[in-house]
Amino acid sequence: MNLNKETVPDIVPQQAEGLLRNRATILSNLVVALLSLFVLQDSAPGMTLLWWVTGMAALAIARLFLSHWLRGSAWLSRRKLHVLTVGATLSGLSWGCLPIVLLPVGTVEDFAFAGFMIAGMTAGGITALCWYHPAYLGFLLGATLPLVACLLLQEEPVYLAMAAQVLFYAVMLVVISALYNRRLLQTLRLENELGQERRILEAIRHELAQAQSSKWRTLAQLSHHLRTPMNAVIGFSDMLRSEVLGPIGNPKHKEYINHIHDSGTRALQTITEILDVSQAEAGMLTLATTQVDVRETLAHCLQRHGATAAQRGVTLTATIASDLPRLPCDPARLQQILDQLLSNALRHTPSGGHVTLSASIDARWLAIRIADTGPGMAEDQLAEAMAPFVQFDDAMVRQDGGIGIGLPLARRLVELHGGEFTLLSAPDNGTTAIIRLPLSVSTGGIPA
């Protein structure tokens, strides 16, 4: 990740928050101190031990209240870290006072017990205090150095050995805590960088969504503006070839006019499809819903495409259930869906192939399937086929001049009806388009 340091959030607030969650460790100090009082009550002056435990309790309560206050404080996080470090150091020194209490009368067993308690507290403090390494070092050194000093003052081999062990143990804890702290800080920095990357990607995604919506809106407006002059081209060329204003003397002129009219009609159809898909992608398309006789719509669609199928040498067959209900949908858009899918199937089916249309009731859905025996598509091509303006290297499609919006437009119109669109295909096994329309549908615009 190549983020500029200025853009990556500081980890200091997370370190302060980690130390402020250290309440269980503070309470454990008090519990272990009470246990020590119970064990050592016969080895040291009772009043001295009582004062030591009272001091531990007062410090623990003060640290708890301080943590609670700092959570809501407006202090800078780094200042909170310094205050919490002082509290941790004082807590360590309070444990360091235990061997001092034992110094005049303690036995080897008493010092061993004190060392065991201090070792346990300093080891357990790593996970709680290593959010900020100086805080743990203050706790560790405050607890262990007085113990080492007291053991050295005894000047006996057993005590000197114990002091050496405590020093070795403290050094090991310093090394382990440093490694732990380094890994912890690396994790925090990585989390912050990932969070920053996530925010950047989210902002980019939002900008791309806005740009895409703007693109489709611009394309829709452009298509709308192109329809008016194209309608004029078609209308005037139709008047000329009909010789409304008088005969055309040169037959070649009439042939050219027919070409202009046919080309203009195809161009207008393409512009209309681009307008529809642009409005659908931009969330500007709505439906005019009414009750539609689906069997009649399918029959008209088959009749309209029958001539194209015969011209291509493709067999067009249908299997339509007799119990199809009237469907609440936009009749023009339903016809457009069927026209797009049948045209697409015929376009991809070579001479001698078959295109089959079937319709039936599937639970609460009307299911319509259009299957062809064309070359089919690989699995990785299915997603591309559903993207607008994507065309594959298909000679039949290039010959017909398709622009790659038939399937995307059909899918968006099906979704606009509250339905589901599925495309199944495999190389050399043809393609099947399945649309499932709800028998009861609420309509509205497609969100951009």
User: Would you list the domain boundaries of the chain?
Assistant: 1-284, 290-438
Per-residue pLDDT of the chain (448 residues; tens, 9 = 90+): 444 444 546 888 888 888 888 777 788 888 888 888 888 877 777 788 888 888 888 988 898 888 889 888 888 889 999 999 999 999 999 989 888 888 878 788 888 888 888 888 898 888 888 889 999 999 999 999 999 999 998 888 998 999 999 999 999 999 999 999 999 889 888 888 888 889 889 988 888 877 777 777 777 777 777 778 888 888 888 888 888 878 887 888 888 888 888 888 888 877 777 777 777 776 777 788 899 998 999 999 999 899 889 999 999 999 988 888 888 999 988 998 998 899 889 988 999 999 999 999 887 889 999 999 988 888 878 777 777 666 665 544 444 556 677 788 888 889 888 899 999 988 888 899 999 999 875 544 443 3
| Residue-level pLDDT at 447 | 38
What are the tokens at 129?
């205090």
Rounded CA separation 86/132 (Å): 12
Q: Which helix H or strand E contains 392, and what residues bound it?
A: none
Rounded CA separation 377/390 (Å): 13
Rounded CA separation 262/276 (Å): 21
| Residue-level pLDDT at 9 | 63
**pTM metric for this prediction:** 0.53
Q: How far is the CA of 46 from the CAs of 53, 150, 209, 219, in angstroms?
A: 11, 20, 74, 89
SS3 1: coil
Q: Are 59 and 94 in contact (CB under 8 A)?
A: yes
Q: φ and ψ at 11, to 5 degrees?
A: -90, -5
Rounded CA separation 230/218 (Å): 18
Residue with tokens 């025996």: 373
Q: Alpha helix locations (H) across 72-156?
A: 77-102, 108-129, 133-154
Rounded CA separation 134/171 (Å): 15
What are the tokens at 173?
């804890």
> HSE (CB half, 13 Å, CA atoms) of 10?
8
Homologous superfamily assigned to 290-438? Histidine kinase-like ATPase, C-terminal domain (3.30.565.10)
